[in-house]
Amino acid sequence: MQRYEQLNKVGEGTYGVVYQARDTVTGEIVALKKIRLNSREEGIPSTAIREIALLKELHHPNIVRLYDVIHTENCLTMVFEYLDQDLRKFLDREQTLDVPVIKSFMYQILRGLQECHRYRILHRDLKPQNLLINRDGELKLGDFGLARSSGIPVKKYTSEVVTLWYRSPDILLGNRDYNTSVDMWSCGCIFAELYNSTPLFPGQNEADEREVIFKKLGTPTLATMPRLNTYPEWNGNTPMYPPKPFNQLVPRMDPLALDLLSKLLMYDPERRIDCQQALEHPYFDDIGEILRRRNI
């Protein structure tokens, strides 16, 4: 650890504290994610092992780079590239984002996520706090504490995933046999938040989160969610709310943005757009020019 000079605490992640530090060899500013190990328990927390294994596989400009791992008896330290801020802080500071900035951020989220999904890795905890930004307007996916490879031969996953406001309705209804579509729902929630500057579905608990979604998108039916009756938390007595038009939910969006949003926020996971389809959507037709001029 002599190599890294700890500077100041910058936050707390899924399983540890994050510090800004200086690499004394290169002079580079890095992020140290320190995970305290409980000596009474066996070894490293499984969430940390999972994150390390995944990040070592992923080398992409829109995914936070893991440089080094240092393991001592009572502490595991992961050395990441350092980025200035996260999207939550950026949104809180800026309030209203220009459309080219929104488009650039959304494109980069999808590019990073596409790389995850290419390796059959679900992020499962996409939210503004886990999207890191540098001063050049580059955005990177971070905090893979809940991510897991869908290549692992386990059919039923835990339902305790994804921060509530970005959690897909099938998971909220108890579906545990899910796939990359859960991340696409989270992308849709973030997309709307980039335009509105406030969360689209701010529920207080799981039941309230379901109701908030149903009141805005309409209560799901077998037509919009064919496996509805198989989800353990579905109640046939749920009030039937009518859907609100997307242009009322996100008034600043143009028709192309609204079309992309509607495809990300599909109730039926099988019909939800994937990363490749989203990146090819006409909304991004001018992305090349936007990225060339990128400056936030």
Q: pLDDT band at 125, cuts 50/70/90? A: confident
Please report which residue ranges of the chain form alpha helices under DSSP H: 46-57, 87-94, 99-118, 169-172, 181-196, 206-217, 246-249, 255-264, 275-279, 287-292
Give the whole-angstrom CA distance, residue 2 versus residue 31: 15
Q: Which two tokens stand for residue 292?
A: 């060339």
Is the pLDDT score of 41 beyond 70? Answer: no
Q: Tell which phi-psi region holds residue 255, choosing left (phi > 0), alpha (psi between -120 and 50) or beta.
A: alpha
pLDDT at residue 211 greater than cutoff 90: yes
pLDDT digits (tens, 9 = 90+) for 70-113: 888 778 888 999 998 999 999 999 989 999 999 999 999 999 99
pLDDT at 272 over 90: yes
In the predicted model, what is the mean pLDDT of residues 204-213? 95
Q: What is the per-residue pLDDT across 147-188, written as a single tens digit (0 to 9) for each? A: 555 443 333 444 444 579 999 999 999 998 889 999 999 999
Domain ranges of the chain: 4-81, 85-290
Alpha-carbon gap, residue 184 to 38, rounded angstroms: 35
Q: What is the pLDDT of residues 189-205, one digit of tens each?
A: 999 999 999 999 999 99
CATH number for the domain formed by residue range(s) 4-81: 3.30.200.20
- Shortest CA distance to 150 belongs to which of 182, 173, 128, 127? 182
**Top-level CATH class of 85-290?**
mainly alpha
User: How would you class 240 by CB atoms within 10 Å of its CB: exposed for 0-12, middle for 13-18, buried for 19 or more?
Assistant: exposed
Q: How far apart are CA 146 and CA 204, in angstroms?
A: 21
Was 33 annotated as part of a binding site?
yes
Overall average pLDDT of the 50-55 stretch? 75
Cα 160–Cα 165–Cα 170 angle in degrees, nearest 5? 55
Top pLDDT among 130 and 50 is at: 130
138 pLDDT band, cuts 50/70/90, is very high
Across the chain, mean pLDDT equals: 88
Span 213-244, pLDDT tens digits: 999 999 999 999 999 999 999 999 999 999 99
Q: Measure the CA–CA gap between 2 and 120, rounded to whole angstroms.
A: 36
For the annotated catalytic residues, the residue numbers are 125
Q: For position 152, what pLDDT does the model report?
A: 37
Is 60 exceeded by the pLDDT of residue 30?
A: yes
